[in-house]
Amino acid sequence: MSYAEHFQDMEKGIGLAHAIAEADRCLLCYDAPCSKACPAETDPATFIRKLHLRNLTGAIRTIKENNILGGACGVLCPTSQLCEKECSATGISRPIEIGRIQRFLVEYGWQTGFKVFAKPEARREKIAVVGSGPAGLSCAAELAKAGYRITVFAERGEPGGMIRFGVPAYRFDKKFLKNELQDLDDLGVEVRCKAKIEGSTGLEKLLADGYKAVFLSPGVWGTPRLIPNTENVQGVVTYTEFLVGLREERFEEFGKQITGKTVAVIGGGSVAMDCIESASKLGAKDVYLIYRRSFAQMPAQEEERLEALRLGIHFLLLNQPVDYLSDSKGKVKGVKLVRTRLGDPDASGRRKPLEIKGSEWILEVDFVIEAIGQGPDESVNWSPAVEVDKKGLIVVDPKTGRTSNGKIFAGGDIVRGPALVVEAVQDGKLAARALIKALSKA
């Protein structure tokens, strides 16, 4: 079995005829609710109207000028919960396929060689961007368009952050990202890979090296274990270990542990859905999704949950893992679970899962993937250069991204915690605007 063939190409997007047919269904609202619902101000109403009028280059320009990662957002954003949810056409039939149109237009620009950006006249000031995920790339693009000399410091071997290393290739491949990043190259943005900035001292050094300001967006790559003191149990991994490993094409390594075996994935979000589909592609005999709440309360999109059911995934709902069982060699052989019931709503607005005493039972498994969330890398401390909260997230002015240090701005997951790509893009844009304003007064 060749594992790699299952993790290569993305599903193809729609074609010109399909995109135009969708645009022609648009009601051309004067005060379009879809544009108001886009966190990154990509303005779908305008690019759809331009496509409706057959102005394809104008539509592409609208997307890319508003959102440097317009292609990525067209692929990865939960549009059914954002712009498409607010589409006025829903009252007549079904919402316009905004995300698919957006992806088509960006890809059409690549196919036809249409260039949106040219390198602007450079200013003397240089600005550092720490982190090459959506927030950092968005901020870098906006600042570069204003003429600032931008250097992006990426910790890993390639830029892209979580969308490069945390999303399976069959959903978002390297070729697509490479095309998207060409716009930053056209703008003159320099990207330095394998260039980790070591916390507070690293920030201070950047400022001492002549960077007028820093935008900080390293993401949140820390993944605390679900059950304390189980780090040494073999065959239990975090989702970052699993998904990053697959993006690094370590298929044989994981295939040997998963093919023909029983796998448990713990969690209920989109990342958990990526993990169960990836385990299925690696040939798992059975994949169990363990979630402590109900099906309706899972954070994953409805389409993702339904796709998991179509794949034959076993949903173990209202179950909470409390321990792992291992054999004499330290290899996991089971998950100890306790059944739960739903109580009153908690701070998240969802009904809180309560353990049912005496309901413990054992699920026999060969491999476990914990997909329960993420937080800041505990090995990197950004304080005292900037203020951080008790979770290790950076504290900012939400309107500007400004930290406690007037020369350092921040955005993305290191500020919000795990969030949407489109929200990170907007964080980068807002911080860039504030930075440009602050530097113009300096």
pLDDT, averaged in runs of 10, over the chain (442 residues): 76 96 95 96 98 98 98 95 95 94 98 94 92 98 96 96 94 94 96 95 96 96 87 93 94 95 96 96 96 93 92 96 95 97 89 95 98 87 95 95 97 95 98 95 71
Could you tell me the domains of the chain?
4-112 (1.10.1060.10), 126-221+375-441 (3.50.50.60), 236-370 (3.50.50.60)
At residue 19, what are phi and psi to the nearest 5 degrees?
A: -60, -45
- The rounded distance, in Å, linking the Cα atoms of 413 and 374 is 10
- The rounded distance, in Å, linking the Cα atoms of 413 and 224 is 16
The strand pairing partners of 355, in sequence order, are 340
pTM to 2 decimal places: 0.93
136 touches 129 (CB < 8 A) = yes
Alpha carbon of residue 212 to chain centroid: 29
What tokens were used for 96? 């316009």
Residues 6+ apart with CB under 8 A from 373: 223, 224, 267, 269, 418
Task: Name the burial class of residue 30, with classes exposed (0-12), middle (13-18) and buried (19+) by CB atoms within 10 angstroms of its CB.
Answer: exposed
Residue (of 432, 438, 434) closest to 68 by Cα position:
432
Return the pLDDT at 94: 94
AA letter at 63: I
178 touches 150 (CB < 8 A) = no
Return the pLDDT at 374: 84
